[in-house]
Amino acid sequence: MPASTTPWDYIAKLVCIGDSGCGKSSLTIRLCEGRFVTHHDVTIGVEFGSRIVPVGPPHSSETDIISSLSTTVDASNTQATSSGLPEPRIILAPASADSQKHMKLSLWDTAGQETYKSVTRSYFRGASGALLVFDLTRKKTFQHVTDWLNDLRQIAEPDIVVVLVGNKADLAQTQSDDEEKREVTREEAEEWARRNGVLEYVETSAKSGENVEKAFMRVAERIYQNIQAGKYDLNDRRSGVKVPGAGVPRPVRLTNEKKSATAGCC
């Protein structure tokens, strides 16, 4: 398929990994569908989603990548943005921005239960980015992120981009005695991220939409930087990043010409 017929320039595989019940599915649904699901069935194996986002200049900004995501939202729609993300859409650059690139994030929401872990690990192959998710109100889920990261790095691409995500920030900030409280501080999560070579630590709330786009966009922007640095073979279908038409076999031209046989001894 020619690049001109697709609304994206690159497609990148991202996996959401972490213990069961951390909100991986809720984060994916929030990003792809702009809604929050109160009760979600336990993921068995893997579930899929996708979102097309702008990457690189002029849409990106060193100071705030996510500020550009709200530029297409009308000022009269403040209620929608304050309660969560706007309706999912293909965010296209202004017509004058000829150099703007777009990336399709192919999201693989993996099961977090130990029962499915051997199956889950097989989905890490070919991933160029990952959100490593834990629950801010459950310390044990944070203690397990090291094991998840080790499994990921054993199987995934060497240059995989990883962002650590502390989810359920809405519960962690609750002061009421009858609600769960924060069990992981921002400082210890940031220190873990630095010590383990993880790109960044982001605290999110799939319920309110807080920082959900930011977490995914941090991964997308770094993948784009890696593309510019030539870290991926964009024509290899096994690569973590692809371009339209990558891996499509070249047509073979058949002719009726006969080559004359050459006599001789082999």
Three-state DSSP state, 191: helix
Rounded to 5 degrees, φ, ψ at 202 are -130, 135
pLDDT reading at 71 higher than 70:
no
Q: Please tell me which of 3-7, 60-64, 200-204, 241-245 the model is most confident about, judged by mean pLDDT.
A: 200-204
The span from the CA of 214 to the CA of 204, in Å, is 9
End-to-end CA, the chain: 45
| pLDDT score recorded for residue 235 | 81
| pLDDT score recorded for residue 98 | 58
pLDDT reading at 145 higher than 60:
yes
CATH no. of 3-240: 3.40.50.300
Lowest mean pLDDT among 127-131, 157-161, 176-180: 176-180
Contacts 24+ apart (CB under 8 A), 110-114: 110/15, 110/16, 110/17, 110/24, 110/43, 110/45, 110/46, 111/20, 111/42, 111/43, 111/44, 111/45, 111/46, 112/17, 112/18, 112/19, 112/20, 112/21, 112/22, 112/24, 112/43, 113/20, 113/42
Enter the DSSP assignment of 261: P
pLDDT digits (tens, 9 = 90+) for 8-67: 999 999 999 999 889 999 999 999 999 987 765 555 456 788 999 999 998 775 434 444
Supply the mean pLDDT for the chain: 78
The span from the CA of 258 to the CA of 261, in Å, is 9
Q: Please tell me which of 4-18, 76-90, 97-111 the model is most confident about, judged by mean pLDDT.
A: 4-18
Higher pLDDT among residues 148 and 117, named by residue: 148
Three-state DSSP state, 69: helix
Rounded to 5°, angle at Cα 161 from 54 and 3: 40
Higher pLDDT among residues 145 and 253, named by residue: 145
pLDDT reading at 114 higher than 60:
no
What are the tokens at 224? Answer: 């784009």
Q: How many CB atoms lie within 10 A of CB 46?
A: 17
| pLDDT score recorded for residue 247 | 54
Lowest mean pLDDT among 94-98, 183-187, 200-204: 94-98
Enter the DSSP assignment of 99: T
How far CA 43 is from CA of 112, 167, 226, in Å, comes to 8, 17, 31
Helix H or strand E segment including 101: strand 101-110
The span from the CA of 219 to the CA of 222, in Å, is 5
| pLDDT score recorded for residue 170 | 93
Three-state DSSP state, 131: strand
| pLDDT score recorded for residue 168 | 95
- Pick the closest to residue 181 from 190, 171, 191, 189 (CA basis): 171
Average pLDDT over residues 216-236: 93
Q: Please tell me which of 116-125, 127-136, 249-258 the model is most confident about, judged by mean pLDDT.
A: 127-136
Lowest mean pLDDT among 51-55, 153-157, 246-250, 260-264: 260-264
pLDDT reading at 149 higher than 70:
yes
Helix H or strand E segment including 142: helix 139-143
